[in-house]
Every structure is written in C-alpha cells, then in structure tokens.
C-alpha cells in the first residue's frame, strides 16, 4: 500500500500527534490470550483502548485537535456532537485545557455516556437522532455562541490523533517480534480506521487492514466495494453498537480508507453480544458492543486467522451495567 496519494493526513501528522499526546493519553497495552489464540488458530493481539482516558480511543483525537486551537478560541468554548465516546473524549480534553465544552448527544444514547459527559463538566444538549440533524443543531449553536467545532471524525487533526493507536500497535508488535499480518478496526465515520491505516501503511505496508461494522450499518464496507461513499438507509434496523452508527463515511476519512484499507467486514448483534461476553469471561475486560465488533469478527470466523498474527482494537468500554448484565445472562 502506498501513502503518496492519500489526502490531508500523513505519517508525519500522526507522529506529531503522538508527541502532543505523550504523557497525557495512556499508552494502552497490547493484550494476548492463549485461549483466544487456540480458538482462532493464529496469534491475536488486542489493543485495549477500553483502558484509555474516558474509556475509548476518542480522547486522542479530541485532545490533538483542541490543543491546536488558539487560546482565545479555547476560552470561548468547544462544541461537539457525538453518540457518547467522542462526547466524553472532548469533555475530558476540554477540561484539561480549560475550555468550556458543549456536546450535542442523541436522547437515546446510553445513560452512562450522557452522565459521564456531564460529570466531566460539559453542557449536554439532547436531540432526536432519527428526526433531527446533529450537525445542523451543532452548527447553529456554535454560530450563536462563537464556539469552535471539534468533529467526531472528519478532521485531519482528529484523524491524526486516532492514528496514534496504530502507531503504538506497530511499535508494540516490533517490541515483541510479531509480524502484523492483519489489523481489524471498528468503524463508524472512519476516523480511527483512516488514522490507523495512515500509520500502519507507512510502518508496516504488508499489513492488511479491514474496517469492521455492525450488520445493516456497513456503509464503509459498501463504500469501499463501490469506490464511492454510500449511506445507510434511514430505515436500517437499530444495532447494539451505538458507537458505530454513522450514516456514511466521512468526506475526509473515506478517500484515505479507499486508498489504504483492504476491505470491510460486518458482524451481527448476536456475534457482538458473544464477543462482549467472551471479553468479560475469558479476557477479563469490559468492552462495549461497538468496541467489540472486531473481536466478534475473529470469534465468528469472518476473517481467517489461522497461521497469522491479527491485531484488533477494542475501541471502547463504556457499557451500562444493565446492558452488560443482560448480555452476560444471555445464553
């Protein structure tokens, strides 16, 4: 894979983001489990971004973006829209940098994500994700209040920040002498996928990279197959993976993904539930449904792991106690 024609984000941008995040973001572990290796027939390495600040990778991109803003803009305040993990990442980054934060969140977002965002000091404005546009609401509020917008994925600085996950995976693989044959990345709007692909394509060009999405919300997979951005139908069935429900890949993220990704995979809610349960019972990790999609792809055999080293990202761990209990009780 060549990175010469990739727009907007380069490996130098990801490396610069790593310097910004050094000592602020956690360098999360790359976890290996013998039972998972035996089951998959390969070597599976799991990047535990569930242990990141605010419980997901989103803090990385938010902090990288907000630090780039002039002090006056930070003082005026930050606005973001998010189903929950970007909300918390922005709220925490804004808190650390002394910037007031306003977050537009869907009314049906998990209560734990709404509560955590408020606990971090952000003002939360709720909307109906099925009948209202968060972008329109956010743009109006930002204009009225003079706030700087921190987009959830379609921003080069956010993408570069998320790409530090891939940078760390490559460095950790090198440290343990592991050849990274395949990288699986949970995907919504594509910020994590685009950022990690930028890093991995530069550092480990032989690695195959796949986006993993929920069934019926596989807009990235369909866009990659079509060669142009596709949207999910408005009547697509809901999914447990609330963090992976973007309507379409980003305008910035998709060209990067089209250039660097090998393809897209989709997993069912039943497979995701099994992955959440497996992570808890076998890996001893708490993972939210959207954060477990790539693990579900491995456990369900959607990707051939036999004889290969497969890295995957557990991208978030913000699951409500009630939903976790329900999943664990489901046979």
The verdict on 52 and 85 lying in the same domain is no
**pLDDT value of residue 83:** 85
Beta-strand (E) ranges in the chain? 30-32, 43-48, 78-81, 101-106, 123-127, 148-149, 182-186, 208-214, 263-267, 309-314
Within-domain flag for 2: no
Within-domain flag for 220: yes
- Reference 211, options 194, 232, 228; nearest CA is 194
- Reference 29, options 169, 162, 200; nearest CA is 169
CB contact at 8 A, 59 and 165: no
The verdict on 76 and 179 lying in the same domain is no
The verdict on 251 and 309 lying in the same domain is yes
Within-domain flag for 3: no
What is the residue-level pLDDT of the chain in tens, covering all 331 positions? Answer: 333 444 589 999 999 999 999 999 999 999 999 999 999 999 999 999 999 999 999 999 999 999 999 999 999 999 999 989 999 999 999 999 999 999 999 999 989 999 999 999 999 999 998 889 999 999 999 999 999 999 999 999 999 999 999 999 999 999 999 999 999 999 999 999 999 999 999 999 999 999 999 999 999 999 999 999 999 998 999 999 999 999 999 999 999 999 999 999 999 999 999 999 999 999 999 999 999 999 999 999 999 999 999 999 999 999 999 999 999 998 7
- CA separation for the pair 22, 171 (Å, rounded): 14
Q: Which of 149, 164, 189 is the last residue of a domain?
A: 149
CATH number for the domain spanning 114: value is 3.40.50.1100
Paired with 183 in beta bridges are 209, 311
- Reference 290, options 241, 240, 245; nearest CA is 241
The verdict on 100 and 17 lying in the same domain is no
- CA separation for the pair 25, 129 (Å, rounded): 30
Within-domain flag for 5: no
| Angle between the N-to-C axes of helices 85-96 and 111-119, in degrees from 0 to 180, rounded to the nearest 10 | 10
Within-domain flag for 289: yes
The verdict on 162 and 137 lying in the same domain is no
The verdict on 188 and 241 lying in the same domain is yes
- CA separation for the pair 13, 161 (Å, rounded): 8
CB contact at 8 A, 289 and 273: yes
Record the pTM: 0.95
The two structure tokens encoding residue 30: 């790359």
Within-domain flag for 128: yes
Among positive and negative, which fits the CA dihedral 218, 220, 226, 230?
Answer: positive
Which SS3 state, helix, strand or coil, does residue 285 take?
A: coil
Count of domains for the chain: 2
The verdict on 238 and 309 lying in the same domain is yes
Enclosing domain of residue 313: 11-57+156-329
Rg (CA), the chain: 18
CB contact at 8 A, 244 and 188: yes
CB atoms within 10 A of CB 273: 19
Q: Which of 133, 149, 165 is the last residue of a domain?
A: 149
- CA separation for the pair 30, 44 (Å, rounded): 10
CB contact at 8 A, 152 and 126: no
Within-domain flag for 6: no
Within-domain flag for 274: yes
């Amino acid at each position: 894979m060549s990175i010469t024609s990739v727009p907007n984000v380069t490996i130098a941008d990801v490396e610069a983001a790593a310097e910004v995040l050094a000592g602020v973001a956690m360098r999360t572990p790359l976890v290996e489990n013998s039972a998972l290796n035996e089951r998959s027939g390969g070597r599976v390495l799991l990047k535990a971004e569930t242990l990141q600040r605010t419980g997901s990778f989103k803090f990385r991109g938010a902090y990288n973006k907000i630090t780039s803003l002039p002090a006056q803009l930070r003082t005026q305040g930050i606005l973001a829209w998010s189903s929950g993990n970007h909300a918390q990442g922005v709220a925490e980054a804004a808190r650390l940098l002394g910037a007031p934060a306003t977050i537009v969140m869907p009314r049906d977002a998990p209560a734990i994500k709404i509560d955590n965002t408020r606990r971090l000091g952000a003002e939360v404005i709720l909307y109906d994700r099925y009948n209202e546009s968060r972008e329109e609401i956010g743009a109006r509020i930002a204009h009225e209040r003079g706030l700087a917008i921190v987009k959830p994925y379609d921003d080069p600085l956010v993408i570069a920040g998320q790409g530090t996950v891939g940078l760390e995976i490559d460095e950790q693989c090198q440290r343990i002498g592991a050849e990274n044959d395949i990288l699986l990345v949970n995907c919504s709007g594509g910020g994590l996928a685009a950022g990690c692909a930028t890093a991995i394509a530069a550092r480990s060009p032989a690695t195959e990279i796949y986006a993993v999405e929920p069934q019926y919300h596989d807009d990235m997979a369909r866009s990659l197959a079509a060669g142009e951005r596709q949207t999910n139908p408005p009547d697509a069935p809901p999914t447990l993976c609330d963090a992976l429900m973007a309507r379409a890949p980003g305008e910035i993220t998709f060209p990067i993904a089209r250039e660097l990704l090998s393809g897209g995979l989709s997993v069912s809610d039943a497979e995701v539930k099994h992955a959440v349960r497996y992570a808890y019972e076998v890996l001893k990790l708490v993972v939210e449904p959207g954060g477990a999609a790539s693990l579900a792809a491995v456990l369900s055999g959607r990707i051939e792991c036999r004889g290969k080293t497969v890295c995957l990202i557990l991208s978030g761990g913000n699951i409500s106690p009630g939903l976790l209990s329900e999943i664990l009780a489901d046979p």
